[in-house]
Amino acid sequence: MWRCFCRSKIHRAKVTETNLNYEGSLTLDPLLMEAAGLLPFERVSVLNLHSGARFDTYIIEGQRGSGTVCVNGAAARLVQPGDLLIILAYAWVEEREMSRFRPKVVHVDEANRVQEVVESSVLPRAEEG
């Protein structure tokens, strides 16, 4: 059996800008992408902690070290600069692989700089191994 899990999460990233006239996507600083294990054009879910809005889009790379979190296209209407976001990527994991699967949570500061990356197990401690 396969199960769908949160594979990585960028927690409380601050929107730095929006661009309604871009064709669509979420521009991220590559340092955030690397910390979360995200690739360009990968699908993500975005949750806005200020408005409750949720949407799916894909990632594109911004300028390295810039702290950029820019929501583009139609989704730009769902956020404002300064809003805090949770950015989620998912993966399908086969049950026999669950003991090795380690989701990542990336914590950032107010400038979207990586402060900590926490990896966890999806299995209760008694089942790990």
Domain extent, residue 15, equals: 2-93+100-127
CATH assignment at residue 81: 2.40.40.20
Active-site position among 22, 45, 58, 90: 58
Total of domains in the chain: 1
Task: Report whether pLDDT(128) > 70.
Answer: no
DSSP string, 2-36: EEEEEEEEEEEEEP-EEETTSSSEEEE-HHHHHHH
Of 120, 108, 122, 124, nearest to 31 (Cα)? 108
Task: Report whether pLDDT(127) > 70.
Answer: no
Tens-place pLDDT, residues 21-70: 987 799 999 999 999 999 999 999 999 999 999 999 999 999 999 999 99
Task: Report whether pLDDT(126) > 60.
Answer: no
Query: Residue 127, SS3?
Result: helix
Tens-place pLDDT, residues 68-94: 999 999 999 999 999 999 999 999 999
Per the annotation, the verdict on 25 as an active-site residue is: yes
Per the annotation, the verdict on 8 as an active-site residue is: no
